[in-house]
Structure 1
Amino acid sequence: MERQIDLAADNGVDFFLFCWYWRDNKGPLNPEAIQNLPHHTSLNLYLKAKNKHRVKFGLLVANHSGSEIIGAENWEKATEYWMTYFRDNQYVKVGGKPLIVLFNVKGIEEEGLASMQAVAGRGGLNGLSIAGCGSASTPGFTHRTHYNIIPGYSAGSEAHPYSELVEAHKKNWAGTPAQPYIPEVTVGWDKRPWEGANGLTQPEGWYFPDRTTAQFEGFLEDALDWMDRHPDQTTQERMMLLYAWNELGEGGYLVPTRDDPDASYLRVVRDVMTRQHKKTN
């Protein structure tokens, strides 16, 4: 993990969002099961890393099938569990408040969102920045974003140009002063390893095999340009999310691989952010 932190920090990545999973699914809080869940190994290693000061962290609550949080009381318990993270000096903030991203916006109601804010207030925080992936129309979501945007997710196995993926994202970049949007950029998408009986039984869908570093660079530049042109629709921090650091089974990753040992897409992030810092400083 310390090598990954250095790799991220040296290449323009400011923070990691770690996926966090509730246990027991559709049941009460089970702290022991949560702590021992292999899915949380990367988060636990980060928290123990000697160089964690180089990259901040946050939580992306993966409240999808298998990790559903049901009812306001359980959202309250979850937030009480997360308070230790929120109080960490390295926890990422938006508007001075800890940022937490919820994957499934349909998995929480207004009462649950209110209970999250109440726990934060009782714990001495001045609130939470709660971003929902997708529509996030339920009152209580302070921000909107996406985990990723995938045309043809289950439309059958077909190769499509990466440019279609880019355009699908750009059509969704829209926020308001009341609910700013955090733009998301998908590095790549090809989940064929996870499809069918030999994978994770996911449905066959479109994949985008023709991406290039030049296309990805343009995608990042477009996201920065959108924030420049719409400061009232996004965060003051000009935050952007990248899908993903290491979703290797879905084709969305920045880490070095056997076929790309130099992490060429991560180098693009470094180059774009270096130019951005020179532009704004």
Structure 2
Amino acid sequence: MKTTVSLLLFVLLGGTAFAQGSSVKPTVGAIRWDAWTGGQITEEVKKSLGPKKYHLRLPWFAEVIDDDTVQIDGSPQEVMDRELEYAANAGLDYWAFLTYPENGPMSFAMKQYLQSSKRHLLHFCVILHYTLSNDVEKWPRELERSVALLQEPGYQTVLDGRPLVYVFISGTFPYDRFNQFLDAAKSKGLNPYCVFMGGEPSTAYKEVSGRGFDAVSAYAQDSNQAKFSDLTKAVEKDRWQNAARSKTPYVPLVTTGWEKRPRQDHPVSWEVGQAYLKQKVFPSRATPPEISSHLRRAIAFVRENPEVCPARTIIIYAWNEYDEGGWLAPTRSADGTPDTGRLDAIQKVLK
């Protein structure tokens, strides 16, 4: 009977199964940037991770051809199915998928997730991204698709069943399209909890409050510090504590790193002229205990600041941004087997 009641509460609360002030952990999600399933972007990241010195950063399903050449193909369905098992076993609650045009290769992994027989293991949500800046003729279909995703089984919700929606846009924000998205969602009886991924929390919230956003967060944290520990200190001070001091509604960012030397050696076409291309120092590679300690502190922050973190959720950068320096997913170890060290470490926190 106790198990039945607990399951019922879990369903009614949209998978968040906790009350404000509860000792139960917040939900924890990880960003998916899926450049590994084919297309031009995959060809470019294969070059950035091709040199031998970066081979320990390869996805667990990659193959090493020689000291300068690798093969990366995450398109088989079994890759997604196994990643679902990895994420669920580690205690993650959801993935946050960046949205790209429906029929493009960057949307393939989300399709894999939606058709997976194992999708019940992990919830998902979207980070509205290129969807909002798509071609005019494609926008009506993209709008329809975005709202339909919010109604999918297993979509991550917060508070009283509100679909969790992150928004990450570079450049001028397309408020007209965002408003159309909100109107279309509300026409379906949905009340999305929208989180703007900006920079410094109080400033970002001043820019977007009253324009359909409920809270702010961040996609990532760049850094020119030499130690990963200094990067986490900066995130916790400049982001978390800023939100707490200013009483800004916030979803804490947890970082797993920022080290873009692979893209310095082999620049990618979509980041021409970026400042990091001339950067001399990046944070050291994070150790699994450093990541798990950072996550533990984020969970404590949410529990200690319920008025600042009403959605009681955390977002991790990232699941699989291997060539940018932020990942949780297994990498390819020297003997070709998956290195699950980071997931093993956060499992001790989340489970």
Normalising by structure 1, report the TM-score: 0.79
Kept in 2: contact 1:185–1:243 (CA 8 A): yes
* Structure 2 residue aligned with 1:278: none
* 1:160-179 equivalent positions in 2, closer than 5 A: 160-170=226-236, 171-173=238-240, 174=243
Superposition deviation, residue 49 in structure 1: 0.1
User: Is 1:115–2:192 an aligned residue pair?
Assistant: no
The DSSP-based 3-state class of the residue aligned with 1:189 is coil
Aligned partners of 1:114 and 1:192: how far apart in 2?
Answer: 38
* 1:29-44 equivalent positions in 2, closer than 5 A: 34-44=101-111
Aligned partners of 2:315 and 2:92: how far apart in 1?
Answer: 10
Structure 1 residue corresponding to 2:144, chosen from 80, 83, 93: 80
Aligned partners of 1:69 and 1:168: how far apart in 2?
Answer: 31
Compared CA separation, residues 14 and 161, structure 1 to 2 (3 A): same
Aligned partners of 1:131 and 1:77: how far apart in 2?
Answer: 23
Opposite residue 307 of structure 2, the aligned amino acid is D
* Structure 2 residue aligned with 1:221: 296
Superposition deviation, residue 84 in structure 1: 1.6
* 1:22-171 equivalent positions in 2, closer than 5 A: 34-63=101-130, 69=133, 78-95=142-159, 96-104=161-169, 107-108=172-173, 110-125=175-190, 127-134=191-198, 135-136=204-205, 137-138=207-208, 139-152=211-224, 160-170=226-236, 171=238
Any gaps of 5 or more consecutive residues in structure 2? Answer: 1-79, 199-203
Aligned partners of 1:72 and 1:176: how far apart in 2?
Answer: 41
Opposite residue 92 of structure 1, the aligned amino acid is Q
Superposition deviation, residue 187 in structure 1: 0.9
Aligned partners of 2:157 and 2:258: how far apart in 1?
Answer: 28
Structure 2 residue corresponding to 1:246, chosen from 300, 308, 320: 320
Aligned partners of 1:118 and 1:178: how far apart in 2?
Answer: 28
- What is the aligned residue count? 250
Opposite residue 194 of structure 1, the aligned amino acid is R
Compared CA separation, residues 132 and 105, structure 1 to 2 (3 A): farther
User: Is 1:231–2:306 an aligned residue pair?
Assistant: yes
* Structure 2 residue aligned with 1:257: 331
* Structure 2 residue aligned with 1:9: 88
Cα displacement string for residues 44-67 of structure 1 (whole angstroms, at most 9, x for unaligned residues): 00001001011011111234xxx7
Superposition deviation, residue 94 in structure 1: 2.0
Kept in 1: contact 2:132–2:177 (CA 8 A): no
The DSSP-based 3-state class of the residue aligned with 1:215 is helix
Kept in 2: contact 1:192–1:204 (CA 8 A): no
Superposition deviation, residue 129 in structure 1: 1.1
The DSSP-based 3-state class of the residue aligned with 2:329 is coil
* Structure 1 residue aligned with 2:37: none
* Structure 2 residue aligned with 1:267: 344
* Structure 2 residue aligned with 1:29: none
Superposition deviation, residue 189 in structure 1: 1.6
Opposite residue 239 of structure 1, the aligned amino acid is T
Kept in 1: contact 2:257–2:285 (CA 8 A): no
Indicate the larger mover: 142-151 or 69-78.
69-78
The DSSP-based 3-state class of the residue aligned with 2:90 is coil
Opposite residue 144 of structure 2, the aligned amino acid is E
Any gaps of 5 or more consecutive residues in structure 1? Answer: 22-33, 153-158, 275-281
Between structure 1 and structure 2, the one with the greater Rg is: 2
Compared CA separation, residues 4 and 85, structure 1 to 2 (3 A): same
* Structure 2 residue aligned with 1:212: 287
Normalising by structure 2, report the TM-score: 0.65
Opposite residue 339 of structure 2, the aligned amino acid is D
Opposite residue 146 of structure 1, the aligned amino acid is A
The DSSP-based 3-state class of the residue aligned with 2:331 is coil
Cα displacement string for residues 106-131 of structure 1 (whole angstroms, at most 9, x for unaligned residues): 54355444332211111222x11111
Kept in 2: contact 1:131–1:142 (CA 8 A): yes
